[in-house]
Amino acid sequence: MDTTFIESLRTRLANPLPGRAAQYRMASMRRLEELGFNPVPPPDARVACVLNLLSWKDNAWHTLLIQRTQNPNDRHSGQVSFPGGRYEENDGALENVALRETFEEVGIPPEQIEIIGRLTELYIPVSNHVVHPFVGLLKGPVTYIPQVTEVAFILNPPIDAFNRPENRKTTDLTLHGGITLKDVPYFDVEGRVVWGATAMIMSEFLEVWG
């Protein structure tokens, strides 16, 4: 593990971030129309947090993604996302939400994760959540234990996969309710479509990553 690189990344995360301009590069036209270019979440928007968890294996840095189970009551049903979820009153600091949800969804104890920074928060109109993305470092090997009611599949792709031009694509997506989004930008990750807020967060992270 290159600890010098991690310290450099920590510093970059503490400096001014690329922000929404970087996020919008992987946003659909519908999302851009919903957000505008100066989005202000409504007062009743709920808070959620996600974790971009970095791990070192096979001489490369990897991240952690989950494919959510099919659930008619979940607006993000079946999508690929970072581990995360909604803020609860006993969570305290926002980073605790990301750690708790990562433990609940994939079984990684909080003590095995070091939070090294955070990215720009992102408002998601469809679910009325302001999402706070954190970046963490996995301290050692772990065994993933997926929460079967929420996690259909765990992915552990290398960061470099997101930077390959051939893995940045566009497609038409049909959502719940029959709405079709045209020319949606996405990352092709092991044949799975990573789009929406997850792709937008990753887009900003890649600029920080360098």
Which residues constitute the domain of residue 61?
3-160+194-209
Q: How many domains does the chain have?
A: 1
Using a 10 angstrom Cβ sphere, with 0-12 exposed, 13-18 middle and 19 or more buried, the burial of residue 130 is middle
At 122 the pLDDT is 95
At 175 the pLDDT is 78
Give the Cα separation of 58 and 37 in Å (integer). Answer: 40
At 153 the pLDDT is 96
Residue 183 lies in a domain: no
Quick count: other Cβ atoms within 10 Å of Cβ 104? 15
Model-level pTM greater than 0.85? yes
Residue 188 lies in a domain: no
CATH code assigned at 72: 3.90.79.10
At 145 the pLDDT is 97
Residue 169 lies in a domain: no
The rounded average pLDDT for each run of 10 residues, N- to C-terminus, in the chain (210 residues) is 90 97 94 77 95 96 95 72 96 98 98 98 92 97 95 97 97 84 96 97 97
